[in-house]
Amino acid sequence: MREPRALAAGLLLAWAGGAAAAEALQAPRLGRPVDAQEVARWDLSVFPDGRGLPAGRGNAAEGAILFRQHCAACHGAGGRGASAEELAGGTEPLTSPTPDKTIGLYWPYATTVFDFVRRAKPMTAPGTLSADEVYALTAYLLYANGLLGETDEMDARTLPRLRMPNRDGFTGIDATLPPR
């Protein structure tokens, strides 16, 4: 009677060990080591108060050209009416049953627009725009939402000063920001 139990226990252990080994072989091999230089290249955080904004400048007139080249195919002329999310022209406030989440109605900080554009655009080559191009595109998006004049210049000094209509629409967190 002992031998069948011992045999069953042995088979169970062998099966469990084989399953664990097979699982280890099937685990995805994600990630790779990175060096400090590569980490620095991706350390792009921009804070609401403007910390992290690079040197550079741009206005909406310059950004309109870039928008047509890189963004209009998905977001439509003026940021409206194409297959991707509408960026401008919203009319329904966040308190509406069908709120618009355009930049002008939803986004609390203009610096967040810059941060997103710099990291994610253009869609086919994220992170390839120069700081001047990102400032210009950000200025254009703010202009398209009626928040900025066409020739108003955006840079690290002026962008954080722009008060977005939904600035107070979000609840802040108590996280400590990095020192300036």
DSSP state letters, 114-139: HHHHHHH-STTSTT-S-HHHHHHHHH
Determine the average pLDDT of the residues in 134-152: 98
Give the mean pLDDT of the chain: 88
For the chain, the distance separating the N- and C-terminal CA atoms, rounded to the nearest angstrom, is 75
CB 53 within 8 A of CB 159: yes
Grouping H, G, I as helix, E, B as strand and the rest as coil, residue 154 is strand
Determine the average pLDDT of the residues in 6-29: 65
Question: Count of CB atoms within 10 A of residue 84's CB?
Answer: 13
Which has more confidence, 119 or 174?
A: 119
**Tokens 């991706």 -> residue:** 42
Tens digit of each residue's pLDDT (9 = 90 or more) over 43-61:
889 999 999 999 999 999 9
Determine the average pLDDT of the residues in 56-71: 97
Tens digit of each residue's pLDDT (9 = 90 or more) over 107-140:
999 999 999 999 999 999 998 999 999 999 999 9
Model's pTM, two decimal places? 0.76
Given this model, what pLDDT does residue 68 score?
Answer: 97
Altogether, the residues listed in the chain come to a count of: 180
What is the C-alpha separation between 71 and 10, in angstroms, rounded?
63
Lowest-confidence pick of 12-16, 25-29, 34-38: 12-16
Superfamily of domain 67-161: Cytochrome c-like domain (1.10.760.10)
Cα dihedral 165/170/176/178 (nearest 10):
-40
